[in-house]
Amino acid sequence: MRNRFYLVLAAVLVLAGCKETEVIPQQPIYTPISAHVALGNPSQATADGTDPANFLMVKDQYVFSYNRERGTPNWVSWHVSRHWVGNALRQDDFRADATLPAGWYRVGPSAYTGSGFDRGHNIPSADRTRTVEDNSATFLMTNMIPQAPNHNRVTWASLEDYTRDLVRQGMEVYVIMGSYGIGGTGSNGAATTIDKGRVAVPAMIWKVLVVLEEGEDDLQRITANTRIIAVNTPNTNQVLADWGTYRTTVDAIERETGYDLLSALPDQIEAVLEARVDTGPTR
Protein backbone atom coordinates (compact mmCIF):
# COMPACT_ATOMS: atom_id res chain seq x y z
CA MET A 1 0.00 0.00 0.00
CA ARG A 2 2.82 2.30 0.95
CA ASN A 3 4.67 1.49 -2.29
CA ARG A 4 1.50 2.13 -4.27
CA PHE A 5 1.10 5.50 -2.53
CA TYR A 6 4.60 6.54 -3.55
CA LEU A 7 4.04 5.37 -7.13
CA VAL A 8 0.87 7.46 -7.37
CA LEU A 9 2.64 10.43 -5.78
CA ALA A 10 5.52 10.12 -8.24
CA ALA A 11 3.10 10.01 -11.16
CA VAL A 12 1.32 13.15 -9.93
CA LEU A 13 4.62 14.98 -9.54
CA VAL A 14 5.71 13.99 -13.03
CA LEU A 15 2.43 15.20 -14.52
CA ALA A 16 2.60 18.41 -12.52
CA GLY A 17 6.17 18.93 -13.66
CA CYS A 18 5.18 18.50 -17.28
CA LYS A 19 2.49 21.13 -16.87
CA GLU A 20 4.89 23.55 -15.22
CA THR A 21 7.50 23.10 -17.94
CA GLU A 22 5.08 23.26 -20.84
CA VAL A 23 6.66 25.15 -23.75
CA ILE A 24 4.87 28.48 -24.07
CA PRO A 25 5.73 30.55 -27.16
CA GLN A 26 7.44 33.75 -26.13
CA GLN A 27 8.50 36.83 -28.01
CA PRO A 28 12.21 36.65 -28.96
CA ILE A 29 14.39 38.93 -26.90
CA TYR A 30 15.54 41.81 -29.09
CA THR A 31 18.87 43.39 -28.19
CA PRO A 32 19.21 46.71 -30.01
CA ILE A 33 22.61 47.67 -31.40
CA SER A 34 21.75 51.26 -30.55
CA ALA A 35 19.07 53.17 -28.62
CA HIS A 36 18.03 54.62 -31.99
CA VAL A 37 16.61 51.23 -33.01
CA ALA A 38 15.10 50.33 -29.66
CA LEU A 39 11.81 49.57 -31.45
CA GLY A 40 13.44 47.04 -33.78
CA ASN A 41 15.32 46.66 -37.06
CA PRO A 42 12.48 47.13 -39.58
CA SER A 43 14.06 45.29 -42.52
CA GLN A 44 16.49 43.05 -40.61
CA ALA A 45 19.34 44.95 -42.26
CA THR A 46 22.85 43.60 -41.71
CA ALA A 47 26.29 45.14 -41.99
CA ASP A 48 27.99 42.17 -43.67
CA GLY A 49 27.57 43.62 -47.17
CA THR A 50 25.87 40.54 -48.61
CA ASP A 51 22.72 42.53 -49.39
CA PRO A 52 23.67 45.94 -50.83
CA ALA A 53 19.99 46.87 -51.04
CA ASN A 54 19.60 46.52 -47.25
CA PHE A 55 22.91 47.52 -45.70
CA LEU A 56 22.91 48.42 -42.00
CA MET A 57 24.81 51.56 -41.03
CA VAL A 58 25.20 52.72 -37.43
CA LYS A 59 26.06 56.30 -36.55
CA ASP A 60 26.25 57.71 -33.04
CA GLN A 61 23.35 59.98 -33.98
CA TYR A 62 21.07 57.55 -35.89
CA VAL A 63 20.83 54.11 -37.50
CA PHE A 64 19.68 53.28 -41.03
CA SER A 65 19.37 50.76 -43.81
CA TYR A 66 21.12 51.99 -46.96
CA ASN A 67 20.18 50.88 -50.46
CA ARG A 68 23.12 51.00 -52.86
CA GLU A 69 20.82 50.34 -55.81
CA ARG A 70 18.73 53.43 -55.04
CA GLY A 71 21.51 55.65 -53.67
CA THR A 72 19.30 56.49 -50.67
CA PRO A 73 18.37 55.01 -47.30
CA ASN A 74 15.43 52.61 -47.10
CA TRP A 75 14.68 53.81 -43.58
CA VAL A 76 16.34 55.86 -40.83
CA SER A 77 15.63 55.44 -37.12
CA TRP A 78 16.48 57.84 -34.29
CA HIS A 79 15.55 59.06 -30.82
CA VAL A 80 14.68 62.70 -30.14
CA SER A 81 14.91 64.06 -26.61
CA ARG A 82 16.27 67.09 -24.76
CA HIS A 83 19.59 65.26 -24.64
CA TRP A 84 20.01 65.84 -28.39
CA VAL A 85 18.88 69.47 -28.55
CA GLY A 86 21.37 72.27 -27.90
CA ASN A 87 22.86 75.36 -29.46
CA ALA A 88 25.02 73.96 -32.26
CA LEU A 89 24.51 75.81 -35.53
CA ARG A 90 23.39 74.19 -38.78
CA GLN A 91 26.58 73.03 -40.50
CA ASP A 92 25.39 72.66 -44.11
CA ASP A 93 28.42 70.48 -44.84
CA PHE A 94 26.77 68.10 -47.30
CA ARG A 95 29.26 65.38 -48.22
CA ALA A 96 29.67 61.81 -49.41
CA ASP A 97 29.70 59.11 -46.74
CA ALA A 98 33.23 57.76 -46.55
CA THR A 99 32.12 54.81 -44.42
CA LEU A 100 30.33 53.07 -47.30
CA PRO A 101 32.05 49.84 -48.37
CA ALA A 102 35.00 50.15 -50.73
CA GLY A 103 33.94 50.14 -54.37
CA TRP A 104 30.41 51.40 -53.75
CA TYR A 105 29.29 54.55 -55.55
CA ARG A 106 29.20 57.43 -53.08
CA VAL A 107 26.57 60.05 -53.80
CA GLY A 108 28.22 63.47 -53.68
CA PRO A 109 26.86 66.83 -52.49
CA SER A 110 26.31 68.11 -56.05
CA ALA A 111 24.35 65.04 -57.20
CA TYR A 112 21.00 66.82 -56.75
CA THR A 113 22.06 70.09 -58.39
CA GLY A 114 19.60 71.21 -61.09
CA SER A 115 17.36 68.20 -60.50
CA GLY A 116 14.38 70.11 -59.12
CA PHE A 117 14.57 68.13 -55.89
CA ASP A 118 15.95 69.12 -52.50
CA ARG A 119 18.61 67.17 -50.66
CA GLY A 120 15.96 66.04 -48.21
CA HIS A 121 17.16 64.95 -44.79
CA ASN A 122 15.70 61.85 -43.20
CA ILE A 123 16.88 62.72 -39.70
CA PRO A 124 16.65 66.52 -39.75
CA SER A 125 19.51 68.81 -38.87
CA ALA A 126 17.51 70.48 -36.10
CA ASP A 127 17.03 67.15 -34.28
CA ARG A 128 20.79 67.06 -33.67
CA THR A 129 22.01 70.38 -32.24
CA ARG A 130 23.76 69.12 -29.11
CA THR A 131 27.20 69.43 -30.71
CA VAL A 132 28.70 70.51 -34.02
CA GLU A 133 29.67 66.88 -34.67
CA ASP A 134 26.12 65.68 -34.11
CA ASN A 135 24.68 68.26 -36.48
CA SER A 136 27.32 67.59 -39.11
CA ALA A 137 26.45 63.88 -39.10
CA THR A 138 23.00 64.68 -40.49
CA PHE A 139 24.54 66.16 -43.66
CA LEU A 140 25.99 62.89 -44.94
CA MET A 141 24.48 62.13 -48.34
CA THR A 142 23.49 58.65 -47.13
CA ASN A 143 20.89 60.49 -45.02
CA MET A 144 19.34 62.22 -48.07
CA ILE A 145 16.53 61.51 -50.52
CA PRO A 146 15.42 63.54 -53.57
CA GLN A 147 12.51 65.40 -51.99
CA ALA A 148 10.06 67.74 -53.72
CA PRO A 149 10.83 71.28 -52.47
CA ASN A 150 7.33 72.05 -51.19
CA HIS A 151 7.20 68.69 -49.46
CA ASN A 152 10.55 69.28 -47.77
CA ARG A 153 10.19 72.94 -46.85
CA VAL A 154 6.51 73.06 -45.92
CA THR A 155 4.77 69.75 -45.13
CA TRP A 156 7.75 67.87 -43.73
CA ALA A 157 9.20 70.94 -42.01
CA SER A 158 5.92 71.32 -40.14
CA LEU A 159 5.99 67.71 -38.94
CA GLU A 160 9.63 68.06 -37.90
CA ASP A 161 8.86 71.24 -35.97
CA TYR A 162 5.94 69.53 -34.25
CA THR A 163 8.20 66.67 -33.17
CA ARG A 164 10.57 69.10 -31.48
CA ASP A 165 7.62 70.96 -29.95
CA LEU A 166 6.66 67.70 -28.27
CA VAL A 167 10.19 67.41 -26.87
CA ARG A 168 10.02 70.96 -25.55
CA GLN A 169 6.76 70.00 -23.81
CA GLY A 170 8.55 67.25 -21.87
CA MET A 171 8.14 64.33 -24.26
CA GLU A 172 10.65 62.10 -26.01
CA VAL A 173 10.01 60.65 -29.44
CA TYR A 174 11.23 57.59 -31.32
CA VAL A 175 11.12 58.27 -35.06
CA ILE A 176 11.41 56.00 -38.08
CA MET A 177 11.32 57.57 -41.53
CA GLY A 178 11.60 56.01 -44.95
CA SER A 179 10.59 56.16 -48.59
CA TYR A 180 9.61 53.75 -51.33
CA GLY A 181 8.42 53.50 -54.90
CA ILE A 182 9.81 55.22 -57.96
CA GLY A 183 8.88 58.63 -59.37
CA GLY A 184 8.20 62.00 -57.76
CA THR A 185 7.41 65.50 -58.99
CA GLY A 186 9.80 68.32 -58.15
CA SER A 187 10.10 71.91 -59.33
CA ASN A 188 11.23 70.72 -62.78
CA GLY A 189 8.42 68.21 -63.17
CA ALA A 190 8.29 64.45 -62.83
CA ALA A 191 11.41 62.28 -62.57
CA THR A 192 12.26 58.72 -61.64
CA THR A 193 16.00 59.19 -61.08
CA ILE A 194 18.66 61.89 -60.79
CA ASP A 195 22.47 61.90 -60.84
CA LYS A 196 22.63 60.13 -64.21
CA GLY A 197 20.33 57.37 -63.00
CA ARG A 198 22.34 56.60 -59.87
CA VAL A 199 19.84 58.03 -57.35
CA ALA A 200 16.19 56.94 -57.33
CA VAL A 201 13.44 59.49 -56.74
CA PRO A 202 10.92 57.97 -54.31
CA ALA A 203 7.20 58.11 -54.96
CA MET A 204 6.18 58.06 -51.29
CA ILE A 205 7.74 59.34 -48.06
CA TRP A 206 6.57 58.05 -44.68
CA LYS A 207 7.27 58.57 -40.99
CA VAL A 208 6.27 56.90 -37.72
CA LEU A 209 6.55 58.62 -34.33
CA VAL A 210 6.20 56.93 -30.93
CA VAL A 211 5.57 59.61 -28.31
CA LEU A 212 6.40 59.14 -24.61
CA GLU A 213 6.71 61.31 -21.57
CA GLU A 214 10.34 61.71 -20.50
CA GLY A 215 11.52 58.82 -18.37
CA GLU A 216 13.56 55.63 -18.15
CA ASP A 217 13.01 52.08 -19.46
CA ASP A 218 11.20 53.42 -22.50
CA LEU A 219 10.09 50.12 -24.04
CA GLN A 220 8.54 49.01 -20.77
CA ARG A 221 6.55 52.26 -20.66
CA ILE A 222 4.95 51.79 -24.08
CA THR A 223 1.36 50.64 -23.67
CA ALA A 224 -1.72 50.21 -25.83
CA ASN A 225 -2.52 53.85 -25.01
CA THR A 226 0.80 55.29 -26.20
CA ARG A 227 0.44 57.89 -28.94
CA ILE A 228 1.59 56.67 -32.36
CA ILE A 229 1.68 59.00 -35.35
CA ALA A 230 2.02 57.38 -38.78
CA VAL A 231 2.13 59.53 -41.91
CA ASN A 232 2.50 58.53 -45.57
CA THR A 233 2.80 61.26 -48.19
CA PRO A 234 3.31 61.59 -51.96
CA ASN A 235 6.67 63.04 -53.00
CA THR A 236 5.26 65.88 -55.06
CA ASN A 237 5.31 69.65 -55.11
CA GLN A 238 1.51 69.55 -54.95
CA VAL A 239 1.49 67.91 -51.50
CA LEU A 240 -0.84 69.56 -48.99
CA ALA A 241 0.76 71.72 -46.29
CA ASP A 242 -1.10 70.00 -43.43
CA TRP A 243 0.76 66.77 -42.67
CA GLY A 244 -2.22 65.61 -40.59
CA THR A 245 -4.11 65.05 -43.84
CA TYR A 246 -1.84 62.10 -44.56
CA ARG A 247 -2.18 60.23 -41.26
CA THR A 248 -2.51 56.48 -41.67
CA THR A 249 -1.72 53.29 -39.75
CA VAL A 250 1.61 51.59 -39.19
CA ASP A 251 -0.04 48.47 -40.60
CA ALA A 252 -0.67 50.27 -43.89
CA ILE A 253 2.94 51.42 -44.16
CA GLU A 254 4.15 47.90 -43.40
CA ARG A 255 1.97 46.49 -46.16
CA GLU A 256 3.53 48.89 -48.67
CA THR A 257 7.15 48.43 -47.55
CA GLY A 258 7.30 44.88 -46.22
CA TYR A 259 8.91 46.17 -43.00
CA ASP A 260 8.13 45.23 -39.38
CA LEU A 261 8.34 48.62 -37.73
CA LEU A 262 7.62 48.01 -34.04
CA SER A 263 8.84 44.45 -33.74
CA ALA A 264 10.51 44.93 -30.32
CA LEU A 265 7.16 45.54 -28.64
CA PRO A 266 5.03 42.74 -27.15
CA ASP A 267 2.78 41.34 -29.87
CA GLN A 268 -0.49 42.37 -28.21
CA ILE A 269 0.61 46.00 -27.78
CA GLU A 270 2.16 46.11 -31.24
CA ALA A 271 -1.08 44.92 -32.84
CA VAL A 272 -3.17 47.61 -31.14
CA LEU A 273 -0.77 50.47 -31.85
CA GLU A 274 -0.14 49.55 -35.48
CA ALA A 275 -3.86 49.49 -36.30
CA ARG A 276 -4.59 52.97 -34.91
CA VAL A 277 -4.85 56.23 -36.89
CA ASP A 278 -3.72 59.18 -34.80
CA THR A 279 -6.31 61.88 -34.06
CA GLY A 280 -4.21 64.11 -31.82
CA PRO A 281 -3.13 67.71 -32.44
CA THR A 282 -0.84 68.57 -35.35
CA ARG A 283 0.71 71.72 -33.90
**Residue 26 to residues 17, 29, 39, 43, Cα–Cα distance (Å):** 19, 9, 17, 21
The CA distance from 72 to 85, in Å, is 26
Contacts of 139 (CB under 8 A, 6+ apart): 91, 92, 93, 94, 95, 121, 125
- 79 included as an active-site residue: no
Residue 131 CA, chain-centre distance (Å), reads 22
Selection from 88, 181, 176 nearest residue 139 by Cα: 88
Q: 36, 79, 121, 151: which one is catalytic? A: 121
Q: How many Cβ atoms sit within 10 Å of the Cβ of residue 91?
A: 17
Angle at 207 between CA 187 and CA 185, to 5 degrees: 15
Angle at 56 between CA 55 and CA 58, to 5 degrees: 145
Supply the Cα-derived Rg of the chain in whole angstroms: 23
On whether the CB atoms of residues 144 and 108 are closer than 8 A, the answer is no
> Which helix (H) or strand (E) segment is 180 a member of?
strand 171-180
Catalytic positions: 121
